[in-house]
């Protein structure tokens, strides 16, 4: 940092001090919330003042921006949500993975008896479809957990 530059925490704190002084003089500032003396250290730590960066190509940046815009959220907020979700491990599996697992289960469970010369009754096939519909999401979740390790 060059001489005389302020870090973002100092800038925020100075703004809050000046806003507090303005409010004491009767000037209302509706756009910004000043820090309350009753705030705990945990509340102050919750301020999002620590940037984390990544470098993108022009095309990647556009793709990320467009993706976030389609979801109706700011690019930075979407990136933050993705990173924190990944850290928590609560990333949801792609529904396509569950469908792929379901198709594989269906093929394995139907083709094996057919290759062995057995017939599959329509009732047994319907039961199999119901079981696969229930099991495919759990299996996809397990598969997703294993690949994240």
Mean pLDDT in the chain?
75
What's residue 140's pLDDT? 83
In the block, tokens 């984390």 appear at 52
Minimum mean pLDDT range among 6-15, 54-63, 114-123, 139-148: 6-15
Provide the pLDDT confidence category of residue 87 given band limits of 50, 70 and 90.
confident
Q: Is the pTM above the cut of 0.85? A: no
Provide the pLDDT confidence category of residue 134 given band limits of 50, 70 and 90.
confident
**Three-state SS sequence of the chain:** CCCCCCCHHHHHHHHHHHHHHHHHCCCCCCCCCCCCCCCCHHHHHCCCCCCCCCCCCHHHHHHHHHHHHHCCCCHHHHHHHHHHHHHHCCCCCCHHHHHHHHHHHHHHHHHHHHHCCCCCCHHHHHHHHHHHHHHHHHHHHHHHHHHHC
The rounded distance, in Å, linking the Cα atoms of 30 and 25 is: 15
What's residue 97's pLDDT? 84
């Amino acid at each position: 940092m060059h001489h005389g530059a302020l870090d973002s925490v100092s800038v925020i704190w100075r703004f809050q001090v000046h806003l507090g002084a303005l409010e004491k003089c009767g000037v209302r500032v509706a756009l910004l919330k000043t820090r309350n003396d009753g705030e705990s250290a945990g509340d102050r730590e919750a301020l999002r003042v620590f940037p984390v960066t990544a470098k993108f190509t022009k095309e990647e940046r556009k793709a990320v921006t467009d993706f976030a815009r389609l979801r109706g959220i700011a690019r930075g907020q979407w990136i933050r949500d993705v990173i924190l979700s990944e850290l928590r491990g609560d990333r949801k599996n792609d529904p396509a993975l569950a469908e792929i697992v379901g198709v594989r289960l269906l093929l394995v469970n139907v083709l094996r008896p057919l290759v062995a010369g057995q017939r599959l009754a329509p009732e047994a096939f319907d039961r199999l479809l119901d079981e696969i519909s229930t099991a495919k999401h759990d299996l996809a979740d397990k598969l997703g957990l294993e690949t994240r390790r």
